[in-house]
Amino acid sequence: MREQHGHEQHAQGFERGTDGPKIIVVGVDGSDSSLRAAAYAGGLARRQRALLAVVYVQPVLTAGAALGAPVAETTDEIAEDLIAQIRAAAERVKGIFDMRWEFHTFRGDPYNGLVKAADELKADAVVVGASEQAGHRIIGSVAIRLVKAGRWPVTVVP
């Protein structure tokens, strides 16, 4: 006769629907893969009843690129366009899916911006789109660098 110590205690301690992520950060930049990542993260947030923090990282201008303001204006336009797209998508499913979401803009390179966002927002999970740039196969994409950081569960959406 074998005894099972503590097994039943653990089974009773589990509460359905309470151990998933509470804050999910998704990085968006307007690319198709980032928009798919946002859609995936939105579904995850809805099912987990988590807050979806949509993050756009605005590139920081280097001294050479700061000759004129068009680049800064362009990144502001991208942010505004992303907010408009997300609001439109949220309106289309309003009433069908009840989900809380916020939009945040950080400045910097995509990797450091997402790390800062995930830290400041106290993310439980990070979702990003797979890189669509060929050079990232050599240097490493933002997604790979986030996974290697090992600070949050990271989901990469193709």
State residue 14's pLDDT score: 45
* pTM for this model (two decimals): 0.72
Average pLDDT, the chain: 76
- How many angstroms separate the CA atoms of 141 and 89, rounded? 27
State the virtual CA torsion across 32, 36, 39, 40 in degrees, nearest 10.
-160
Angle at 116 between CA 114 and CA 117, to 5 degrees: 60
State residue 25's pLDDT score: 95
- DSSP H helices, 61-103, are 70-92
> What percent of the chain lies above the pLDDT cut of 70?
66
- How many angstroms separate the CA atoms of 142 and 131, rounded? 7
34-69: pLDDT as tens digits? 888 988 998 899 889 899 998 988 877 655 555 555
